[in-house]
Structure 1
């Protein structure tokens, strides 16, 4: 088992045929993991990539369902692994382990077969997945250029590396992970540490409104 949150995968020169569409990832685990390559993918032009992490009790397909049309419109490659337990390792067991290894394997597989832009490489998630995205993203800021957190609860203990840009959104009527002890404190902490943070509070609950997802993608692609 991994003893920390470090990932070893790095973008490389892809080898072999590149197939577009939704595909299963063979990374082990009791539940299916997936990745999605948009129809307009061109191996000559490295594509931006987003690794998506589901919330507690969620499914890897949820993030794909939310963002697939945005992937098609913007040429994004999406990776959606499934946690080994009901949520991610450090949240369920207070230790990094099988999920860090599985995420690393998922990234290695896609990097080996698809041309990925190392300057547009994001990790994102919702709820527990957002907390895990912040955790892995800040621990691997020498890999991920951007972190996208929809309604996070916290950041687990890590040794930060690099200085990724961070997007956080949260509903002001969230009753699952209330905004005051969660995102507002996280944003203040990150800004004190001199991270560049785009923060979006919206009128709503524990959800990802379509316009917020679009805003996050535009931010990731440098349009905002």
Structure 2
């Protein structure tokens, strides 16, 4: 490899990866009244990135396989910070912030193909404990299974119609049954973007994760339900090709996706063994009309933020009471510093819960 290219990569990766982590911090701690303080704490990790990105244009075409992903990821990071700062300066609103943060998963999607060749990028897709785990590193150093990686099925960005994106760990082997996580995006989200909320933890702890996209503008919370049959088809497709444990099927989701966990996951024909609605709305009628046998002993984890401004925390507390009264095995997690955002730190505990097969 060209010495100049190596020097450019060494200079580029730290600000790129730090900027991605900082965008994750902003996304996690986003709370409208505190947005200015969060941005102050975020600082300007993208400044050095902006200085290094133009150097990639001079690379020989023989390094296009590295240049393309790095440029794409860097451009998404820069666009994210531009949007956030526009909102901070009064040139945008909360919608501007959400649109800016959509560049975060796009940057991660661009970088993922380089995880196999650049160790710092591989670390981006591992949690902190796994980065220090020699066994995890040794497994990832082995040739990856040909049926592993990130896949997209009719799920281009911005599309609707029930497509899906999914991840099978590089360490996949068909000689054992793997847990499956079905992760549902929020109302204005998209499965292709939401997949990256889970990939780091699925890769670290060994789980297959699929992120479907709603068939309509959001999940079928009212009227005809086209999403539940679509979820059934997606699960059936994955089970037909990969070795999946039928006793460890988790349905989880954020906001409208979390609410749809209740609507779909409490149905008598649902294949899911565990439910984890996050920042979800809830009405006691959901428990009262659910199949009593289905609810009895069903493992459910409810995750909600104390400062949720869209669905007040009282809704989650009511959900816990109603579902416990109906016989479900409910764990309630109320996060003191969480607003209406996705708490990625919950993924590892959810995977641990799923691995135990608590029933």
Alignment partners' CA distance in 2, 1:173 and 1:165: 25
Task: Write out aligned runs for 1:65-144 (5 A).
Answer: 65-89=196-220, 91=221, 94-140=222-268, 143-144=271-272
Give the helix-richer structure, 1 or 2: 2
Residue by residue, what CA displacement relative to the aligned partner does 1:98-147 show, whole Å, maximum 9, x if unpaired?
Answer: 21222122111111101110111111100110010122111147621100
Residue by residue, what CA displacement relative to the aligned partner does 1:120-179 show, whole Å, maximum 9, x if unpaired?
Answer: 111110011001012211114762110011111026755425242001110001101111
Which structure has the larger Rg over C-alpha atoms? 2
**Match of 2:311, SS?**
coil
Alignment partners' CA distance in 2, 1:143 and 1:30: 22
**Match of 1:139, SS?**
coil
Alignment partners' CA distance in 1, 2:246 and 2:357: 18
| Residue 197 (str. 1) matches residue 325 (str. 2) | no
Of 179, 195, 198, 2:313 maps to 179
Alignment partners' CA distance in 2, 1:135 and 1:86: 17
Alignment partners' CA distance in 2, 1:82 and 1:34: 8
Any gaps of 5 or more consecutive residues in structure 2? 1-144
- Aligned residues, how many? 204
TM-score after normalising by structure 2: 0.53
**Match of 1:221, SS?**
helix
Aligned partners of 1:55 and 1:129 also within 8 Å: yes
Task: Write out aligned runs for 1:141-220 (5 A).
Answer: 143-154=271-282, 157=286, 158-160=289-291, 161-162=293-294, 163-180=297-314, 182-203=315-336, 204-220=338-354
Aligned partners of 1:138 and 1:164 also within 8 Å: no
Shift of 1:95: 2.2
Alignment partners' CA distance in 1, 2:215 and 2:351: 27
Per mean C-alpha deviation after superposition, the further-off stretch among 195-204 and 29-38 is 29-38
Shift of 1:221: 1.9
Q: 1:126 to 1:112 in 2, by over 3 A?
A: same
Higher relative contact order (CA 8 A, sep 6+): 1
Aligned partners of 1:43 and 1:115 also within 8 Å: yes
Give the strand-richer structure, 1 or 2: 1
Residue by residue, what CA displacement relative to the aligned partner does 1:41-81 show, whole Å, maximum 9, x if unpaired?
Answer: 11110100011111101110343111101111121111111
Alignment partners' CA distance in 2, 1:186 and 1:192: 10
Shift of 1:37: 0.7
TM-score after normalising by structure 1: 0.82
